[in-house]
Amino acid sequence: MLVSEKSALTAEIEGIVNEYGNTRDNLLPILQRILNKHGHISEFAQQEVARLLDIHPVEVYGVVTFYGFMRVKEEGRYIVRLCKTISCDLAGKEAIARAIERELDIKFGETTQDKKFTLEYINCMGMCDAGPAMLINDTVYTHLTPRKAIEILKNCK
């Protein structure tokens, strides 16, 4: 993040904190506002919130990571989540994972440069008898093969 971007973000967060009041009980609405605007709450934003509310950054981080909907990184338009739990693993998850990584040219935990795809692992989502399974945003895909997984990605518009 550039220095000018940081100071713009600082000014913005200062404005939000002034609006809500700089007390700890306003932490959640303040974080929610940042999330709504940016789609994620960066480490720098967390530090700034902590500084302005005079609380420890670990406390802010704890709140951000407690709520599954709060993201700490910028993410792609399509969040691809591949199940890593045992049934899907035994059904061939590894081959799917490698094929997807090759296709998108990123590793799990990363986002493509064009911000189209983010790749993550998830735990069992109850489709164990139909694995390997993955979730792309809200849609579940089952009985994957490497080829099928790539086709699904190619169809994401």
Q: Report the SS3 class of residue 134.
A: strand
For ligand FES, which residue of 22, 32, 47, 85 counts as binding (CB under 6 A)? Answer: 85
Cβ contact 134:81 at 8 Å: yes
**Binding range to ligand FES, per CB under 6 A, among 24-32, 56-64, 85-93, 147-155:** 85-93
Q: Give, as one character, the DSSP assignment of residue 155.
A: T
The encoded tokens of residue 146 equal 């490497």
Query: Rounded to an integer, what distance in angstroms lies between the CA atom of residue 92 and that of residue 86?
Result: 10
Quick one: how far is CA 69 from the chain centroid? 8
Q: Which of 23, 61, 62 is nearest to 44 (CA)?
A: 61
Give whichever of 117 and 141 is closer to ligand FES, judged by the CB atom. Answer: 141
Q: Report the SS3 class of residue 60.
A: helix
The footprint of ligand FES on this chain (CB under 6 A) covers a number of residues equal to: 12
Report 125-154 residues binding ligand FES (CB under 6 A): 125-128, 131, 133
CB of 144 to ligand FES, least distance (A): 10
**Binding range to ligand FES, per CB under 6 A, among 22-30, 40-48, 86-94, 107-115:** 86-94
Give whichever of 26 and 142 is closer to ligand FES, judged by the CB atom. Answer: 142
For ligand FES, which residue of 9, 30, 88, 136 counts as binding (CB under 6 A)? Answer: 88
Which residues on adjacent β-strands are paired with residue 82?
Answer: 121, 134
95 binds ligand FES (CB under 6 A): no
**Which residues sit at the interface with ligand FES, rule CB under 6 A?**
83, 85-88, 124-128, 131, 133
